[in-house]
Amino acid sequence: MNNRLTLQALSIQKMECGRRYLTLSENISWECFQQFACQLTDMLEGKVIRKFDGVDMRMLEVDIKGCTFRVVFDDFPVMVTLESTDSRSDLLIPELFQKLQESST
């Protein structure tokens, strides 16, 4: 993977619980997720708090501007997302979307 993030699926969505999230990419493999997630976190000036690995999902919990988010790799269908965890992080989603949109063009 190169230093530039591929964000061909970038959009703002809502979870069933009402929280916002960003779809990021459908082209990241299981093996490349950690590198992608760390690059994303660096780009958004955040820091990794925890890493989780499951049978069909990988996840990093990250802090961005004092708010907690989850960077999630789901393997069916393949998608990487940045998910808010509370109302404070929800409010940052449009700003993060704008920053990623500007940096990927």
Averaged over successive runs of 10 residues, the pLDDT of the chain (105 residues) comes to 69 94 92 92 96 89 97 89 96 96 80
Residue 2 resides in a domain: no
DSSP result, 13-56? EE-TTS-EEEEEES---TTTHHHHHHHHHHHTT-EEEEEEE-SS
Domain count across the chain: 1
d(CA 27, CA 99): 20
With respect to residue 31, please indicate whether it lies within any of the assigned structural domains: yes
Within-domain flag for 1: no
pLDDT of the residue at 54: 86
The residue range of the domain holding 96 is: 11-103
Amino acid at the residue 81: T
Domain presence at residue 53: yes
Does 4 map to a domain? no
| In-domain check, residue 5 | no
- State how far the Cα of 75 lies from the Cα of 8, in Å rounded to an integer: 17
Give pLDDT, residue 105.
62
pLDDT score recorded for residue 103: 85
pTM of the full structure: 0.90
Strand partners, 47: 63
